[in-house]
């Protein structure tokens, strides 16, 4: 997949399938920050430069169960975050592509995405291309991305493309998942340190990754990883063992978690031989979560392995065959 090409068009910015005005709540776009195409402009922006540089972008989505399909009833934004028009390739589940037209985070960028899946809804969310955390500016101003997912007796599938952390970045990536007792969830995050294909490794900079998963307010998983470019842990076996790509997949709501772990391990062993996998994949259980971790040299390999896991877990969790987002094929 070409990570530098956005396959989505702003001409198909989100509209609800419902034609009533109340079907979609649209927020106010701050035109002093971005033009009508989502491109950043600097005239009279008023955000400052150097250590005071700050650009905000926010997106809030809310999904509710309709008579025969899930509806996106809440859509609010600030700055260059959008979604394509929701569509329904498999009937009831609502498929949505999240767009960030600038293509990545520069110094001072603050992206916040809030996803709310209400009772009996089913949302499938992905992105059209890889996210990017670019090299920080000369003042080393931080770049922030915050993802909040709330699943209340609903189904959520969070399947973004990988995030590429450029050499010299100063990124803070925070994902929080709030689950109710009756929620069902499958989701992943994949991170690439540097661009090894272009011989541009992650030799300097820093990225801080935080993942927090709670069930009815009780923590199930809290992780914080601080990675420094060029550090020893990137090269040695106690860290990344020379690999540049890491990923975590979590699933919640499985009826027989120990059995799911055993079956997935067997399937991964088989498919790893077939794919001649260069990285390593591990499946574990923690409290009510099934956790899959990947560490390897290639984001495409990691993503393909996670897709394999998702297909198996989706059938077990939802009794649904996988319906791959069409954007993955472009």
Q: Considering only residues 12 and 107, tell me which one the structure prediction assigns the higher pLDDT.
A: 107
pLDDT band for position 102 (50/70/90)? confident
pLDDT band for position 176 (50/70/90)? very high
Q: Considering only residues 70 and 327, tell me which one the structure prediction assigns the higher pLDDT.
A: 70
pLDDT band for position 161 (50/70/90)? very high
Model confidence pLDDT, tens digit, residues 213-269: 999 999 999 999 999 999 999 999 889 999 999 999 999 999 999 999 999 999 999
Asked whether the beta carbons of 189 and 248 are under 8 A apart, the reply is yes
Q: What is the pTM of this model?
A: 0.84
Closest CA to 287 of 229, 203, 214: 214
Query: Over 70: is that where the pLDDT of 36 sits?
Result: no
Q: How far is CA 151 from CA 79, 158, 268, 297, 321, in A?
A: 25, 11, 28, 33, 21
Query: Over 70: is that where the pLDDT of 20 sits?
Result: no
Greatest Cα pair distance, the chain, in angstroms, is: 59
Share of the chain above pLDDT 70, in %: 84
**Cα three-residue angle 35-173-113, rounded to 5 degrees:** 50
pLDDT, residue 8, reads: 34
Closest CA to 323 of 9, 88, 68: 88
Asked whether the beta carbons of 322 and 310 are under 8 A apart, the reply is yes
Alpha carbon distance 110, 2 (integer Å): 25
Q: What is the mean pLDDT of residues 5-31?
A: 33
Model confidence pLDDT, tens digit, residues 67-94: 999 999 999 999 999 999 999 999 999 9
What ranges do the domains of the chain cover? 10-236
Q: Mean pLDDT in the chain?
A: 86
Alpha carbon distance 240, 100 (integer Å): 29
Query: Over 50: is that where the pLDDT of 27 sits?
Result: no
């Amino acid at each position: 997949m070409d990570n530098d090409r956005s396959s989505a068009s702003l001409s198909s910015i989100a509209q609800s399938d419902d034609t009533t005005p109340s079907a979609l709540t649209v927020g106010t776009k701050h035109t002093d920050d971005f033009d009508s195409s989502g491109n950043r402009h600097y005239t009279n922006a008023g955000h400052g430069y150097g250590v005071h540089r700050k650009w905000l972008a926010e997106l809030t989505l809310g999904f509710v169960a309709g008579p025969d399909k899930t509806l996106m009833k809440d859509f609010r934004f600030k700055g260059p975050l959008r979604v394509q028009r929701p569509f329904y390739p498999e009937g009831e589940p609502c498929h949505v592509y999240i767009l960030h037209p600038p293509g990545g985070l520069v110094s001072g960028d603050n992206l916040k995405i809030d996803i709310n899946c209400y009772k009996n809804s089913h949302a499938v969310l992905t992105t059209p291309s890889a996210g990017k955390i670019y090299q920080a500016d000369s003042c080393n101003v931080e770049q922030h991305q915050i993802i909040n997912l709330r699943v209340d007796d609903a189904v959520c599938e969070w399947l973004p493309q990988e995030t590429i952390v450029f050499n010299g970045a100063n990124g803070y990536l925070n994902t929080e998942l709030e689950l109710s007792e009756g929620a069902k969830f499958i989701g992943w995050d994949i991170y690439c340190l540097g661009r090894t294909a272009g011989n541009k490794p992650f030799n300097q900079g820093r990225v801080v990754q935080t993942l927090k998963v709670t069930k009815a307010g009780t923590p199930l998983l809290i992780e914080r990883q601080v990675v420094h470019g060029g550090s020893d842990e990137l090269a040695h076996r106690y860290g990344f063992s020379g690999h540049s790509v890491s990923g975590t997949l979590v699933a919640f709501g499985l009826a027989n978690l120990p059995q799911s772990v055993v079956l997935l391990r067997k399937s991964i062993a088989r498919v790893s031989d077939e794919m001649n996998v260069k990285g390593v994949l591990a499946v574990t259980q923690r409290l009510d979560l099934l956790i899959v971790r990947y560490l390897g040299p290639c984001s495409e390999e990691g993503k393909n392995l996670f897709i394999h896991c998702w297909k198996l877990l989706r059938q077990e969790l939802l009794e649904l065959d996988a319906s791959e987002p069409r954007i993955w094929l472009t």
